[in-house]
A and B are shown apart, each in its own frame.
Chain A
Amino acid sequence: MSAALLAVDRLSIRLTSGGHAQDVVSEASFEVACGKTLGIVGESGSGKTLTMLSLLQLLPRGAKVSANRAVFDRRNLLDLSRPELDAVRGRQIAFVFQDPLTALNPVLTVGRQIIEVMRRHFQLPAAEAERRAVALLAKVGIPDAPLRLRQYPHEFSGGMRQRVTIAMALAGQPRLLIADEPTTALDVTVQAEIVSLIKSVQRESGMTVIWVTHDLALLARIADRVIVMYRGRVVEDAPIDRLFAAPEHPYTRALLDNLRSDRERGARPAVAAPERPEAPAATPDILLAARGITVSYTRAGLLPWQSRRRSVQALGGIDLDIRKGETLALVGESGSGKSTLARVLVRTIEPTCGRVVFRGTDISALEGRALRGVRRHLQIVFQDPFSSLNPRRTIGAAIAEPLIVHELACGRELGERVAECLAMVGLDRSLANRHPHEFSGGQRQRICIARAIACRPDFIVADEALSALDMSLQGQILQLFQDLKARFALTYLFISHDLSVVGRISDRVAVLYLGRVVELAPTAELYEYQRHPYTRALLAAVPIADPAIERQRLYAPLAGEPPSPANPPPGCPFHTRCPRVQDRCRSELPALTEVAPGRYVACHYPH
C-alpha cells in the first residue's frame, strides 16, 4: 500500500493510575489507504478507542504513547507541536463520537457549533459560514436546514444529533474521518441511514474513513479492510473479503461463528427450528395473557394554572398471549414501549387500563400478600448489569433476597440454595460474599439471572438482557438462558432491539412499533417472509456478516425516524415512514388480524 494516508507502526499505550502501569495497547500497526474505509473491531476494553484518540494526542493524562511512527500525510502525528496539532485536528482528521447526546454542547445552537469549526479553519465571513452550514446540514439529511440551524441539541432526536455531529466533523473538510462507534447508541433503522450517509459523503469527497465498532457484521457493509483488536493487540489485519472468508486468528473465528449462527438461524429457519407439534388441536396452554394493555403518562403543566396536560401514550392497547414453555421475543426500536410492557407484565408499573392474566388469575387487581405470591413466579432480568445489583450488598445477599422475601429458605439451607444458584449460572460458590464491583459485566448478568431463578419462577422477562454485553459474551449468556429453560421448563419473554439475537432463541416474535404490536409470527416464518413493511425494513437494516451479500443487497433505509409517542401520527402509526403508504393509512388505524394460521399483522396492505 503505497498510497497510505495514515500508517501507524508499533504504537503502544501505557496507562498509569494509582501507582501501577498497564499496557492497554501494545505494538499496534496498521495502515489506511487514501479514500478507503478501515474497520477496527474489538470488544470493549480492547484498546480500539484509545488507539484512535492517541493519534490526535487526545489521551487523558497519565497515558504514555510510544510508537515507531504514526505517519499521516508524510508527517509524524506524534511529533507535532501544539499549533501544528490544532491545524490537523478537525481540519485534516475529524472525529465522530459514540454518544450524540454528550458530543454536542447543550447551551449552544447547532448552527453555532458547526460554524465555529468552519471559522476556526477557514477564516470565513459570518454570512458565508452560515450559508455553508446550511448546505452541510442539508447534505447530512436534515430537513429544514435554515430553521434547524438555530435550534438547540435537545430539539433533535438521537439520530438527528448524530447527523449534526457528522456535519460538524465534515465542516473542516477533513481528509480522514474517525468514526468511533457512531451508531452504537442508535436504533437499527437509524444506523442503516447513518451508514449510508457516511458512505455517500465518502463517495462524493473521497474522504478516508476509520470506523471503530464492536459489530463485525456492520463492517461487512462498509469496510474495505478490517483490523481486529483483542486485549490491546492487533490480532488480524486483512481485506474484508479475506477476513470473512478465511479468518486466521481464533478470536476472529469465534466472532464470525457467533454471527454466522445468527444468520443460519435466520436464513434457513426450517433446518434450525426445533421440531414441535404444529398447531395442537386444543388451544395451547396460555401461561400469561395481556388484554388491552394501555399505558399513558399525563404531565401537568409546569405551573399550577396551566391546565394543558400532555399525554404520552407508551402502549396503545396490547393483546398478547404467551404460551407455556415458549420463548416469545418482543422486538422494537427505542420508544416502542417494549420495556414498559415488560414492566406491566411483572407489575412494577401499573397499566392505565387493561388486564394481565397469569395462570388463570387476573394479577392486575391483586394487592399485598396475594401479589407477592404471584411475584415469586414472575421474574425479570434487566439490561444493565451494572445498575441492577446493589453495590453495597454481596452477590450472595442479592441472590438470597427472593428466597428471604418469599420465606423459601433460611439459615444453612439459604446458603445452600444460593450456592446452588451460583453453580447453575456457572459461577463458583465461593464468590457469594464478594461485592458486585468485583465482577465483569458478563458475570454480573449471570448473577442477575441467578437471582431471577432463585425462587424457581415459571416466567422470566429478559429486558434487553444481552444488549450491554460484548458480542462474545452474548453467545454465552444466550446459551445460559437456553440451558436454564430446558432445565426448569421456563417461559421467556425476550425483549431486544436486535433481531439477530432474537432469531436464535425465540419461538415466536412480536414486533412493536410506537406502543402497538404490528406483527406477530413464528420466528422461522417471520425471518422467511415479513408481512408488515416495518418488519421488512427492520430486517433489511440488520447487517449480514458477509461482504459479498452486503454488496449485492439493495436496501433503502427507512425514511425519517420513529415519531414521538407524545405526538403520534393519526391513522397507522407507521404511515409517516412507510414505503407503501396509501390514503387509508393516514386516517384509519389497522387492527392486528390473523392473516394466516398463527400470523398476525396490523397493516391495511400487508405484503
Chain B
Amino acid sequence: MSFLLTLYRSPQTRIGLIILTVVVVIALCAPLLAPSNPYGVNPNSRLLPPLSSSPLATAAGTVTQLHLLGTDSVGRDTLSRLIYGSRLSLTVGFMAVVLSAVFGTLVGGLSGYFGGRIESITGWLIDVQLSFPFLLLAIFLLGALGGGTLAVVLVLALGTWVNYARIVRAQVLSIKTLGYVEAAHATGAGTGRVLFLHILPNTLAPICVVASFSMAQAILTEAGLSFLGVGLDPSTPSWGTMLNDGRDYLLTAWWIATMPGIAIGITVLGVTLFGDGLRELLDPRGLR
C-alpha cells in the first residue's frame, strides 16, 4: 500500500495511475457500464452521430436508446463497443509486454552474463529476428495459427522481445564489471544469486521505460493487425477492430474511428506516465 502511496505523490504518476485505474475498472465492469449490447446490430440506427438516439424494439416494447458516442455502420453503439473493447486491448497489451519483457530480459541477461557460446547463439537469434520484417512474420504466423487473442499476444511478444534482450545485455555487460558483483563472487555467491539478486534488478530502470513504450506499441500493433484483417475476429469489440471498421467512414462518420483512437491515446498516456513513475520509484535513490 505504501508503494501505491509513494506513486501517488508525484503529480505525473498520479495522473497516470488515475487513468490506468479508470481504464482497468471500465474493463472489469464492462457489463455493468455498457449502455447496450456491443454486438447488437440494429439496421435502424446505422451511422448515427454522437448524442443521437434511436428506437429499440425489446420484449417489453420499444424503448428509446441514447447513443452517447454514436453508432457504427451496422448500428452498434460505439460507447458500448469501446467499453468492451478495453478488455481485449488491455489484455493483449499487458500480456504481450509481460511475455516479451520476461523472455527478452532472460535472454539478454544470460547472454551478457555468460558470454561466449551463449552470447553467439542469442546474438544470432536477435539478428535473425531483426532482419525479418515484423509484419510479414506476423501475417505469416497469424495465418498459420489462425488468429485469436493468444496468437496475437504471442506474435506481439515475438516482435518486441529483442528490444529487451539488447538493452538488458548491454546493461549486464557493464554491471557485471562493477565492484559489488565481483564482491558477491568473491563472497562465494552462486551464479543464480549473482544474476537474479545483483545484476538483473539493476537493469529494471531501462526495462521499465521500454515496457511502458512497448505497451503502447502493442495496443497499436494489435490495432494494426486487426486493421489488416489478420488479428482478431472483426466482430469482436477491440479498439483495433473498431479503428479498422471506421476506416471506410472517416469522411462521413468520423466518430467511429476517432473514439477508439482517443481511447488508445489516453491509455497510452496513462501507461507512459505510470511507467515513468515506476522507474523512479524502483530507483532506491528516488525513495523518500
Contact B202 A379 (CB under 8 A): no
The 8 A CB mask of A369-405 against B (1 = contact, 0 = none) is 0011001101110111001111111000010011001
Contact B185 A387 (CB under 8 A): no
Interface centre among B182, B201, B202, B285 (most CB of A within 10 A): B182
Chain B residues lying within 8 Å of A110, measured Cβ to Cβ, are none
Chain B residues lying within 8 Å of A405, measured Cβ to Cβ, are 187-190, 193
Chain A residues lying within 8 Å of B184, measured Cβ to Cβ, are 390, 401
CB < 8 Å: which of A378, A391, A448 contacts B284? A391
Which chain B residues numbered 28 to 64 have a C-beta less than 8 Å away from chain A? none
Contact B285 A380 (CB under 8 A): no
Contact B188 A435 (CB under 8 A): no
Question: What's the least CB distance linking A451 to chain B, in Å?
Answer: 7
The 8 A CB mask of B175-190 against A (1 = contact, 0 = none) is 0001110111111111
Answer whether residue B279 sits at the interface, using C-beta atoms and an 8 A cutoff: no
Contact B284 A375 (CB under 8 A): no
CA distance A384 to B182 in the complex (A): 12
The 8 A CB mask of A426-466 against B (1 = contact, 0 = none) is 00000000011100000000001001000100000000000
Contact B284 A392 (CB under 8 A): yes
Question: What's the least CB distance linking A298 to chain B, in Å?
Answer: 14
The 8 A CB mask of B257-288 against A (1 = contact, 0 = none) is 00000000000000000000000000011010
CA distance A389 to B202 in the complex (A): 12
Interface size on B, residues (CB 8 A): 20
Answer whether residue A406 sits at the interface, using C-beta atoms and an 8 A cutoff: yes
Interface centre among B184, B187, B198, B201 (most CB of A within 10 A): B187
Answer whether residue A11 sits at the interface, using C-beta atoms and an 8 A cutoff: no
Chain B residues lying within 8 Å of A455, measured Cβ to Cβ, are 187
Contact B183 A391 (CB under 8 A): no
Contact A388 B186 (CB under 8 A): no
Q: Which residue of B lies closest to A452 (CB)?
A: B183
Chain B residues lying within 8 Å of A380, measured Cβ to Cβ, are 182-183, 186
> With contacts defined as CB atoms under 8 Å apart, how many contacts are there between chain A and chain B in the complex?
70
Chain B residues lying within 8 Å of A378, measured Cβ to Cβ, are 186
Chain A residues lying within 8 Å of B187, measured Cβ to Cβ, are 375, 379, 401-402, 405, 451, 455
Known contacts A387-B178, A390-B180, A392-B201; is-contact A348 B186 (Cβ 8 Å): yes
Known contacts A379-B187, A401-B189; is-contact A388 B285 (Cβ 8 Å): no
Chain B residues lying within 8 Å of A375, measured Cβ to Cβ, are 186-188
Answer whether residue A346 sits at the interface, using C-beta atoms and an 8 A cutoff: yes
Chain A residues lying within 8 Å of B189, measured Cβ to Cβ, are 401, 405
Known contacts A379-B186, A401-B189, A406-B188; is-contact A384 B179 (Cβ 8 Å): yes
Interface centre among A389, A392, A402 (most CB of B within 10 A): A392
Q: Which residue of A lies closest to B178 (CB)?
A: A387
The 8 A CB mask of A501-515 against B (1 = contact, 0 = none) is 000000000000000
Contact B188 A402 (CB under 8 A): yes
Chain A residues lying within 8 Å of B178, measured Cβ to Cβ, are 387-388
Contact A392 B202 (CB under 8 A): yes
Contact B180 A346 (CB under 8 A): no
Which chain A residues numbered 278 to 331 have a C-beta less than 8 Å away from chain B? none
Q: Which residue of A lies closest to B189 (CB)?
A: A405
Chain B residues lying within 8 Å of A401, measured Cβ to Cβ, are 184, 187, 189
Interface pairs A-B: 10 shortest CB-CB: A388-B179, A375-B188, A372-B188, A435-B284, A382-B179, A387-B179, A390-B180, A402-B187, A387-B178, A437-B285
9 contacts between A and B (CB under 8 A): A343-B182, A382-B183, A387-B179, A388-B179, A393-B198, A405-B188, A405-B193, A435-B285, A448-B183
Q: Which residues of A contact B (CB under 8 A)?
A: 343, 346-348, 371-372, 375-376, 378-380, 382-384, 387-393, 398, 401-402, 405-406, 435-437, 448, 451, 455
